[in-house]
Structure 1
Amino acid sequence: MPVAGLGFRQAAPAASLHALVAEAGPLSALATLAAKAPALQPLADRMGLPLIALSPDDVAGIATPTQSPRMIARFGTGSLAEALALAAAGPGARLIGPRRVSRDGTATIALAQRLSQ
């Protein structure tokens, strides 16, 4: 099962995060930045998923299909959600489809899976 990387604004409503995760289908884990993990932990607990907290250093330099100048300047990667998913899925991971943005534009999700799975 894939890992979901979640990037979100501080003001992202819990309902927006829940909708993205629920629409993603079966998952093995959620991943986000360690600084944002406390905001995502209740959703992970409710869905029975482990939460992987990563540092900005963990995602810096990860190549992603999406290229946001703002994310490149801030985190050293083109898409935070895509980089989080790839880093959490581990070596040899690939993205599964394009990243998705919540209806209100406050959160983004990307799914990644190891090729050997």
Structure 2
Amino acid sequence: MNRGRLIAGIGLRPGTSEADIRACLDHALATAGLAGELIPRFATLAARSAEPGLLALVKERDAELVAIPDEALKGFEAACATRSTRIASLYGVGSVAEAAALAAAGPGSVLVQSRIATARVTCALARSAS
């Protein structure tokens, strides 16, 4: 089994609270059978990387936050397991969370949990190749 680093890709609306992001993340981890696993890296759109709720969660988890430029997401469209037509029209990719997780996980990474969506946030999990 691949035991590379786990990366959480986060898509969120401006002003989303830390509690809402944490709840979505915890749901994604539980759904993937990874509840309690450490996440050393989070990834999101560069435009959302200064969101206070996300920064607070990243700090709480003592993790790294990777800001993915919009253009970089497009290269991961084929690897996305889900598709939001609204997000595709805005960013050219079906899932910001999935594409961001894969982009931050690096070459050879795999999606281990497709996007979990709530009203204000989405979360997907990828595992790096090593």
The TM-score, its normalising length taken from structure 2, stands at 0.80
Q: Could you tell me which amino acid in structure 2 is paired with residue 28 of structure 1?
A: P
User: What are the superposed Cα offsets for residues 42-96 of structure 1, whole Å, 9 maximum, x if unpaired?
Assistant: 2211210011111101101312111111111111111110000000001111100
**Is the partner of 2:94 in helix, strand or coil?**
coil
Asked if 1:84 is matched to 2:88, the reply is no
Q: Is residue 61–residue 76 contact of structure 1 (8 Å, CA) maintained in 2?
A: no
The TM-score, its normalising length taken from structure 1, stands at 0.88
Q: Could you tell me which amino acid in structure 1 is paired with residue 107 of structure 2?
A: P
Q: For structure 2, list consecutive stretches of 5 or more residues without a partner in the other structure.
A: 30-36
Partner residue in 1 for 2:9: 5
CA root-mean-square deviation: 1.5
Asked if 1:28 is matched to 2:44, the reply is no
Correspondent of 2:86 among 66, 70, 79: 70
Q: Is residue 18–residue 56 contact of structure 2 (8 Å, CA) maintained in 1?
A: no
Identity, in percent, stands at: 35
Separation in structure 1 between the aligned mates of residue 111 and residue 64 of structure 2, nearest angstrom: 19
Misfit runs of 4+, over 6 Å: none
What is the aligned residue count? Answer: 114
Cα deviation, residue 22, structure 1: 3.9
